[in-house]
Amino acid sequence: MGVMEPSQAWADPVRPFLDRQGFMVLDGGLATELEGRGCVLDDRLWSARLLIDQPGLIREVHLDYLHAGADCIISASYQATIEGFKTSGLDEDDARELLRRSVDLAQEARDVFWAATENQQDRIRPLVAASVGPYGAYLADGSEFRGDYDLSEDQLVEFHQNRWQVLAGAGADLLACETLPALSESRALRRLLEATPGQPAWFSFSCRDSTHLSDGSPLAEAVLELDDCKQIVAIGINCTAPHHIAGLVQIVRCVTSKPIVVYPNSGEGWDTASKSWIPADEEAPSLSSSCRAWHDLGAQLIGGCCRTGPQDIRQVRRALFE
């Protein structure tokens, strides 16, 4: 038997959900739920700290999102990097093990959920996406919402490469390349994806308004650069204020036929100096009140990001099935 071409070696894990339901429900904020359960995340590692201290709590949150109706849960690896763990005193082997643990915890939660026959009623076996957060998350200074990096594209490839290899080999159904604020970073991650044949991923950007990435690049340009990559199964926006989502979805729809992924934050801002949440300037539309309209505009993978929880995801699933 000959060697399979990359296009023959894998199946799109998202497609069964879209074919059967017309959408896929994502989970909500992980750190938000951990903080709500008493965890103090005032640390450079943020929620990744719990991979060391309280991994069982991460598994519990994943399970709560599955019970709320999430078709896909995202691993606690957004702010988990080999460099970050080493800065916190761990060696490289331990850092790699913690990255693998982030995926293992999500898979364990999924397996527990799916083992109960009643949870299989009118459901497809949920997916696990391994989070690949941006370089700005490692910096822990809010750079993922500015994109003002001082690294070249090649340097970004080098930064992400070791973590990418671990997460791509950890057994997740796909990678979630998320909260990308800059064209240079999406280009770097595309290079790593194409060097990993058979690995599916979605790419989602953080945006500062209804037309631009956080670094000021046009969203349309960023999406167009990814459109011809077959391994990218969805493109869209996350951790962006809800009132920008409709305009951003329309831009994405105009330049790609790929499924569109959206999981906005609550509309609140994060003050990196005070490490506190800032109320939204205007009343932000809720996920439940907006998700149907976003779906009508073309979004098919829909969930929440910072400051959203299982109750929001439960309402999203209910609204999309109405």
| Residues 218-223, mean pLDDT to the nearest whole number | 98
pLDDT at 233: 98
Residue type (1 letter), 64: D
- Asked whether 223 and 252 are in contact (CB, 8 A), the reply is yes
| Residues 105-115, mean pLDDT to the nearest whole number | 98
Q: Is 295 left (phi over 0), alpha (psi -120 to 50) or beta?
A: alpha
Residue range 132-177, pLDDT digits in tens: 999 998 887 888 889 988 899 999 999 999 999 999 999 999 999 9
9: pLDDT confidence band, cut at 50, 70 and 90?
low
Q: Which of 255, 250, 254 is nearest to 294 (CA)?
A: 250
Structure token digits, residue 92: 């490289």
Contacts of 322 (CB under 8 A, 6+ apart): 292
Q: Which of 145, 138, 215 is nearest to 182 (CA)?
A: 215
pLDDT at 40: 67
Residue type (1 letter), 195: A
Distance CA 73, CA 128 (A): 5
- Asked whether 181 and 240 are in contact (CB, 8 A), the reply is no
Go through the domains of the chain in sequence order and give each one's CATH number. Answer: 6-321 (3.20.20.330)
280: pLDDT confidence band, cut at 50, 70 and 90?
low
Q: What is the mean pLDDT of the chain?
A: 90
| Residues 261-280, mean pLDDT to the nearest whole number | 70
Q: Which of 62, 58, 76, 120 is nearest to 310 (CA)?
A: 62
Structure token digits, residue 87: 């800065």
pLDDT at 178: 98
Report the length, in residues, of the chain.
322
276: pLDDT confidence band, cut at 50, 70 and 90?
low
Is a pLDDT exceeding 60 seen at residue 274?
no
8: pLDDT confidence band, cut at 50, 70 and 90?
very low
| Residues 46-56, mean pLDDT to the nearest whole number | 80
pLDDT at 271: 56
- CA dihedral 295→199→305→155, nearest 10 degrees, is -130
Structure token digits, residue 304: 């929440």
pLDDT at 10: 80
Distance CA 287, CA 243 (A): 10
Residue range 193-213, pLDDT digits in tens: 999 999 999 999 999 999 999
Q: Which of 126, 141, 123 is nearest to 26 (CA)?
A: 126
Is a pLDDT exceeding 50 seen at residue 78?
yes
The enclosing H or E element of 158 equals helix 153-168
- The model carries a pTM of 0.92
Distance CA 238, CA 83 (A): 24
151-160, 164-173, 182-191, 267-276: least confidently modelled range: 267-276
Longest Cα–Cα distance in the chain: 60
